[in-house]
Structure 1
Amino acid sequence: MTSATSKAAIATGQSSRYLQQLCKHFAHKLAVRFDEHEGEIAFSIGDCRLKADGTALHLDLSAPNAEDMAQLKDVVIRHLVRFAFREELEVDWQDA
């Protein structure tokens, strides 16, 4: 049962590109499904659902507890920042 959820909308014109890069990167080791507009990555510590539109990359994370959520956020954002090195992304998590 999931007890921690968090969402973020990251403003970028490259949302589809970053969604696909993240999913392709993790597909080598994890269960991943994606297309140009939506994706899902199943980590051992939780799940990451992604949606891309013309103005933002939307992240929706779920994890069993706060400790796993903190780790999941770190893993996802660390990789996203690496792929988006040409721009500075602002991430404002909305925890539920």
Structure 2
Amino acid sequence: MMNMNMDKKSLMKIITQASFALDDTRLFLDTHPNCQEAILYYNKMQETRKAAWKEYTRRFGPLTFYEVSNEDYWEWNKGPMPWEGGNC
């Protein structure tokens, strides 16, 4: 479970780090498909990323347009985005 007191920047850091770990572990598993330790680590990182993503979007809004509902259609990208100098 994610810490409810985490700020936007901290949640984004968890998402970014978990995403990197997933990509790196997937590459390792491509050549070591039976490594149980790597599989367990991959699953743990997947859960971590999913929980951080869910908490981020619940508190701060969608990270991609795939998560936009009809209620806030195209409102998700108002203001400067984090890569444009907006709040992270």
TM-score, normalization: structure 1?
Answer: 0.31
Query: Is the helix fraction higher in 1 or 2?
Result: 2
Query: Is the strand fraction higher in 1 or 2?
Result: 1
